[in-house]
Every structure is written in structure tokens, then in C-alpha cells.
Structure 1
Amino acid sequence: MPIPAEPAAAIDRRLLRDDVYRRLRDAIVEGQLAPGEQLRDGELATWLGVSRTPVREALLRLGEAGLVVARPGRSTTVSSIEERDVRDARDVVAAMHEVAVREAVAGLTETDLAAMRAANGRFHAAVQHGDVDAALAADDELHGVPVVVAANRAVAVVLEQFTPVLRRAERLRFSTLGGRASVARHEELIDLCAAGDAGRAAAVAFDTWHSLPTAREGG
């Protein structure tokens, strides 16, 4: 869809570059900026109410994440959802969550586990009601608990880069019955974490993310 005519909300200058990146990333993941759409830094800058410099920096980061395709001297466009990109991102993201859970289990508190269970409850309700945005938000919250507890900066950086590619595909998954299988996996993950079984919990975390089918695998 075209870039909205109305200006976006003002951005905190202290976090300008990251905010511009995240707003453009979210617009792509949520489909506001559609695959194949041409991105002109001047138009984006006007929409976000910033100069062109942070927009150009954000587009470079989005290119590294595989969300946009830049053709030097020609144009920058939103990338299509390619099977290979989804598969590669899936493998990396699954491995990072496996590491995070393995490192986090010993440090998870009852409060952490309760937060994960509550998030899974919201996830289940969202999937049942076909609320994709709420399902993804709850899923992020649930899996984010071990990532925060693990406090592994390398894992966090890699997830920040590659999860958005996977989220574009997941928006399709969670709008179908396929997303409901994740509820049971989440429950198993939380139970294993509560039991202190780091090895099996890490394996379930890996399988939860690695179960996302690519276009070919999903039929």
C-alpha cells in the first residue's frame, strides 16, 4: 500500500536511528509496506518526520536483514517473501532460542514462569479469535522471557536481525489452525523449564521455531 499521507507520531530524537529502523521494519512485517513496493527515502522521511539520513541508515539495516532489496543507482524495494530466506532465518532463530533457553533455565524464577504461562494464555486466545497481531505479541513476550534471563547479547542481536523475516511468514501461519500447535509446544516448554530440564527445554524451544514451514514445506 502507498505510504500514509498523514504524518506519523513524533520520534524521540535520542533514539532516532533505532526508532526509524523499527518503524520501517514493523511496517514491512505487518504488510503496511507491501512486497515489491518502492521505498523512496524522501517520502519515508516526510512520513516519519525526520531527515533522510536516519532513513537511509535504516534502509541499509533492513537490507542486511533481508527485508528490502537495494539496487545501487536504481531503487530500493520491499523484498518478497522467499522460501530460502524464510528457511535460513528459521534455522538461525531456532538455534538462538535453543541457546537462550539452555542458558536461562537455571535462572528462571516463579515470576518468569508465570509470565510465560500468562503469555501463552493470551496467545491461545488470540489464535482462537484469529487476532494475528495479538498472537505474535504474546508469542514474542513468551519467548522473550528466556532471552532476557539468559542475558546473552550475541543471541539478542542475532534475533533482532533475523526474527522479522520469520514474522512475515508467521502472520500467515497464526491466521490458520497451524498456529494452535504452538500452544501445546509452549506448555511443554514451560513445564520443562519449571522442572529445570535445560536440555529438553532447549530442544523444545528449537522445535517450536523450527516447525515453521517454508512455502514448499507448508504446501
Structure 2
Amino acid sequence: MLQMDPMRPLDPALPITPQLTQRLRDRIIRNHLKPGDRISETEIAKVYDVSRQPVREAFIKLADQGLLLIRPQRRTVVSRIAYQDVLDARFLREAIEADIVRLLAKTRDDALIGTLRAQIELQKRVHADDLETFTQLDEQFHRMLADAVGKAGTWSFVEGVKAQMDRVRFLSLFDYPMALLIEQHTQIVDAVEARDLDRAEENARQHLRLMLDYLPGVIAANPSFFDLPEGGLAPSVNTPTLGGEYT
């Protein structure tokens, strides 16, 4: 039987389906459940001590996010990482966050700047081996940017479409340069504080393009995890730079 963190029971006072969906989503994104792993409604229901109905609903939601492949009357398996979905999610996220930091730079809030710098200090204190904590802080940093300009709903939308991108990020955690990510966060805040709209946008774009440098290596190290297009890897198309050219 798959070990689904049985020491963390679901909260019966809260809706069960969203809890199950998030719990299973986290385990797939963190590759605790790997592409090709089989899971069943009966098994999950037993682990979490719930009926099969909320499990079925959670499976459907995860299938909609491209994380599960449901084969009626046969089996449900964890899907492979769709390469094109990774590129699409990163493209979308860059476009959205570039506009978010422009808005922040235009309406600079000194209290927010202080809060962001304090959050970056927390990132700097994370031990090099504690990549899970750093990832949580990184996610929090980007969510704070969206919340600050009243775009919490937009960030929720981004979270819903970037599941495949997050799976790649967890596969590449040990290769990601934590110090560089922190420096890029600092550069974004510096530009926002200086009210330099163009620099803030460009810093955000460069930050979100970093994963493209690591993607081919992650695929080469984990080829069975990915659903690749016929003919090999397609080139990534980014949003345009401020000069108007695609890079």
C-alpha cells in the first residue's frame, strides 16, 4: 500500500474533497507519487478513512490539472510531466508576474518593501540542505507580490495551471542555485523600491526564465518522467523583452 502521510489525518470539520485534492497534489508535485504509479479510490479512501466519493471527486480535479490519468474500469495512474504544459505554464506565469511587478513599482508601498525584504532575509537563513523550506518561502514571496496589488485571484489561477512546472522544480531542487534566486528576488524588490518599472519587469522576466536553463538537464536525468513531443524538445518561446524581441 502507498504510504499517504497517515500521521496527518484530514480535518473532519472542513470539506474533505479539497483537502484530499491538495494532499495528493502536493505528493505528486513533490514526486513522492511518481509518473506511472498506480493509485486507487479504495486504497486512498482506506488510508484517509473516508468514503470513495470525495476520493473520486479529488481524482477528477487532479486529472483536470493533468496530474492523473483516469482509465475507467481499469486503473488510475500518475501522469507523466507534459513538456509542452511546462513551457506554457512558465510563459503564462512570466507574462502575469511581469505586469504585477510593474504595478508594484508604479504604486510603491514602503511598508510592503520592508515586508518583502524581511521575507528575503528569511530565505537567506535557510540552510542549503533545507530545500523544502526554501521552496515554500519562494512560493510565499511570489504570492505576496500578487496579493500586494490585489491580484490574489490571479495568483490562484496561476497556481492551478503551473502544476507541471512545479513538478520540474522539485526534480531540479538540488541543482537550483539558491543564492542566485535570492539575489534575483532582491533585484526585483530593489527595482520596485526605485520605481523603475522597466527594470522591475525585466528582472521578473529573467528570474522566471531561469528554469529553462535547467529543463533539458532535468529531462535527461529523468526521461521516463516526461511526455515529450515527437521529434524531440521543442524550442521555448518567451514573452518579448522590453526591446520588443523574443529571446
TM-score by length of 1: 0.85
Number of positions where the alignment pairs a residue of Structure 1 with one of Structure 2:
218
- Tell me, in whole angstroms, the C-alpha distance in 2 between the residues paired with 1:135 and 1:5: 21
Bigger Rg over Cα = 2
- Retained in 2: the 8 A contact 1:189–1:205? yes
Amino acid at match of 1:193: V
> Against the structure 1 CA distance between its residues 210 and 58, is the aligned structure 2 distance closer, same or farther, given a 3 Å change threshold?
farther
Higher-helix-fraction structure: 1
- Retained in 1: the 8 A contact 2:143–2:155? no
Q: Which residue of 2 aligns with 1:189?
A: 188
- Tell me, in whole angstroms, the C-alpha distance in 2 between the residues paired with 1:5 and 1:144: 26
Q: Is 1:109 matched with 2:127?
A: no
Q: Which residue of 1 aligns with 2:209?
A: 210
- Tell me, in whole angstroms, the C-alpha distance in 2 between the residues paired with 1:172 and 1:199: 32
Q: Deviations over 1:92-133 (max 9, x none)?
A: 22222223323344455333222322322333443x512110
1:1-219 equivalences under 5 Å are 2-4=2-4, 6=6, 8-107=8-107, 109-126=109-126, 129-152=128-151, 154-213=153-212, 215-216=215-216
Amino acid at match of 2:86: V
Gaps of 5+ in 2: 221-247
- Retained in 1: the 8 A contact 2:123–2:182? yes
- Tell me, in whole angstroms, the C-alpha distance in 2 between the residues paired with 1:6 and 1:18: 17
- Retained in 2: the 8 A contact 1:132–1:171? no
Q: Deviations over 1:40-90 (max 9, x none)?
A: 112112222322222222222212222222233322211223432322221
- Tell me, in whole angstroms, the C-alpha distance in 2 between the residues paired with 1:38 and 1:46: 15
Report the identity percentage: 24
- Tell me, in whole angstroms, the C-alpha distance in 2 between the residues paired with 1:9 and 1:45: 12
- Tell me, in whole angstroms, the C-alpha distance in 1 between the residues paired with 2:53 and 2:100: 34
- Tell me, in whole angstroms, the C-alpha distance in 1 between the residues paired with 2:105 and 2:169: 26
- Retained in 2: the 8 A contact 1:96–1:158? no
1:160: Cα distance to partner? Answer: 1.9
Structure 1, 101-110 or 111-120: larger mean CA deviation: 101-110
In structure 1, the residue corresponding to 2:174 is in which secondary structure? coil
- Tell me, in whole angstroms, the C-alpha distance in 2 between the residues paired with 1:24 and 1:144: 21
Structure 1, 4-13 or 69-78: larger mean CA deviation: 4-13
RMSD value over aligned CA atoms?
2.6
1:169: Cα distance to partner? Answer: 1.4
1:205: Cα distance to partner? Answer: 1.8
Gaps of 5+ in 1: none
- Tell me, in whole angstroms, the C-alpha distance in 2 between the residues paired with 1:5 and 1:90: 30
- Tell me, in whole angstroms, the C-alpha distance in 2 between the residues paired with 1:5 and 1:113: 37
- Retained in 2: the 8 A contact 1:67–1:79? yes
